[in-house]
Structure 1
Amino acid sequence: MTANEWKNRGTFIEIFGRQVFVIDEGNHEQTMVILHGYPTSSFDYYKVLDTLTKRYRVIIHDHLGFGFSDKPIDYSYSLVEQADIALALWKQLGLTTITLLAHDYGTSVATEILARYQKNQLTIHIEKLTLCNGSMHIELSQLRLIQKLLKNKLLGKHVTKLTNYPIFAKNMRNVFHNKQTVSKDELRYMWEQLLYNNGRKVIHLISNYINERYFFWNRWIGALKEIDIPTKIVWAKNDPVAVFKIAEVLSDEIPNNTLLSIKNTGHFPMLENPEEWLTAVLS
């Protein structure tokens, strides 16, 4: 599937004056909402969406600054504001009960939502939670050099100007366990979406989320320790960034959880090993 074909499957919904790209498929009572990772988009789920929609109504949106959504310069790109966008979108779509699935960057948007949920600040009910390969325990994460450079407030905007497709493709391949699993076409489609809507201008801004993971550590990890939501931790064992140790620590902390591992798979299990990922998520 091409990036343009994926775009044609979705629609744009205005949230707080910004255009948010949304995929909304499946006709079922149960609804799964998905929060995607960095620096990609909802396109990460193109291999698994059709199977997920056999059981759920599935809603995936591109966070602001990502994919086909707006990429304004005058925006904080705080994970807190990304949570505001997600919650406003789900409210606009009339959702009352959800299964929440989050991967990578999306797991920190999810933990902000969970922090509010624990304080009874939401009207939506989270029935189940699935967390996949995210560096919520940022102190355990093995950040890539490019991530460290982009999150730097002084260097980030300069590194952005030097970033090109070969650098992007190399860094993406390096987070797959089998580097040949991701095709040249897939990498090109990811790159197209990264650049869409003048996306190059905001790459360093969306990369600031790593700093927020330190700043809000107590709020977000605290929420995970208190949640009473049945939680599934689905983790690719060979992730070089969000290492498996993070999953083990989360499993020790989250009260009601099941830890499921996927072997011989890197940071994007829904792309690298979609069948095993689906088995774990839907089990």
Structure 2
Amino acid sequence: MDEFANWRSSGQRFTHRGHQIFWQSGGTGSGGALLCLHGFPTASWDWHLVWPDLCEQFAPVLAPDLIGFGWSAKPQQYDYSIADQADLSEQLLREQGVARFHILAHDYGDTVAQEMLARDAERRAAGDTSLVLESVCLLNGGLFPEAHRPRPIQRLLAGPLGPLVGRFGNEKTFAHSLAAVFGPDSRPDDEQMHRFWLLWCSKHGKRNGHKVMHYLAERRARRERWVGALTRPQVPVRFIDGTLDPVSGERMVRRYRQLVSEPDVVELDEVGHYPQLEAPTQTMRAFQEFHGTRVT
């Protein structure tokens, strides 16, 4: 059995709003609980290259396929939202008996993390210690909507033709669009790209692409809440960014430095949108340094 098939077969399931959610778990370390939140359009499989190191440092390590992604349910009649993905993530933490946790997030998962940062601030203000966020590490993502540049296919999915674009899109166009966000020297090979396509298409996922893409509008509508969570954090936050990313690379770093006081930023040269896949060693070095020096 190859690693991709093993990731799926060794995963677990829990029920969120009546739907089965896939998640992967591990961990033997002493660094506390870690929640890993993947990006669009992929799934928890994105973490597989850094998974052994994460599991050596933390326990438990929890990596769900958010609803509408990967091997989780992809219901057609469903209101996909960032708030619901945060609910799903918190449900998983609570069901696993986790009261304190760290976050490692990427892309779409960054926005979920921003909502969870905002909720954590609200709980702290209310004296609620039932679920405590201890740190957040963000990889390339649309942290500030004004600095985010969606790919053409994302704009199409989010527009009036979205249902048709999603339903009739093919593997070739998917691969072409996704490859463009990687660095020129670190793009997935054909087999890796086919696996991403399988994650997107499984459980008839293509038909829901336009619904999942509502998060672009959500980012604009809820900018004050989610940007505010980043500019006024109550826990340590680090931003690790692959600067060659056309979606959220150097432009996002500049905006981060403008808006966040005392910004903790690590820039990875020659890396695109997926640092954990393109430069796993560099990404883990920056992540572990963050936890070794900033988190107690």
- State the TM-score, normalized to the length of structure 2: 0.91
Residue correspondences, number: 282
User: How far 1:190 sits from its partner (Å)?
Assistant: 1.0
Residue range with higher mean Cα deviation, 244-253 or 54-63: 244-253
User: How far 1:102 sits from its partner (Å)?
Assistant: 1.1
Deviations 1:18-45 (A, max 9, x none): 1111111012341111110000000111
Alignment partner of 2:264: what SS?
strand
Alignment partner of 1:128: what SS?
strand
Matching residue within 108, 112, 120 for 1:109: 112
Deviations 1:219-260 (A, max 9, x none): 111121221211111111111101223223324434564211
Report the equivalent of 2:278.
272
User: How far 1:179 sits from its partner (Å)?
Assistant: 5.5
Q: Work out whether residues 147 and 255 of structure 2, in 8 Å CA contact, stay in contact via their aligned partners in 1.
A: no
Q: Percent of counterpart pairs with the same letter?
A: 29
Deviations 1:100-151 (A, max 9, x none): 1111000111111111111117621111110111112111112211010001
Report the equivalent of 2:15.
14
Deviations 1:70-89 (A, max 9, x none): 00111111111111111111
CA distance in 1, matches of 2:216, 2:3: 30
Report the equivalent of 1:146.
153
Alignment partner of 1:119: what SS?
helix
Report the equivalent of 1:33.
35
Alignment partner of 1:129: what SS?
strand
Structure 1 ranges of 4+ moved more than 4 A: none
Q: Which amino acid aligns with 2:91?
A: A
Report the equivalent of 2:121.
118
- Gapped regions of structure 2 (runs ≥ 5): 290-296
CA distance in 2, matches of 1:150, 1:16: 25
Q: CA RMSD in A?
A: 1.5
- State the TM-score, normalized to the length of structure 1: 0.95
Report the equivalent of 1:159.
165
Once the two structures are superposed, the pairs formed by residues 1-283 of structure 1 within 5 Å of their partners are 1-29=2-30, 30-57=32-59, 58-120=61-123, 123-152=130-159, 154-178=160-184, 181-255=187-261, 257-283=263-289
Q: Work out whether residues 186 and 278 of structure 2, in 8 Å CA contact, stay in contact via their aligned partners in 1.
A: no
CA distance in 2, matches of 1:262, 1:276: 8
Alignment partner of 2:149: what SS?
coil
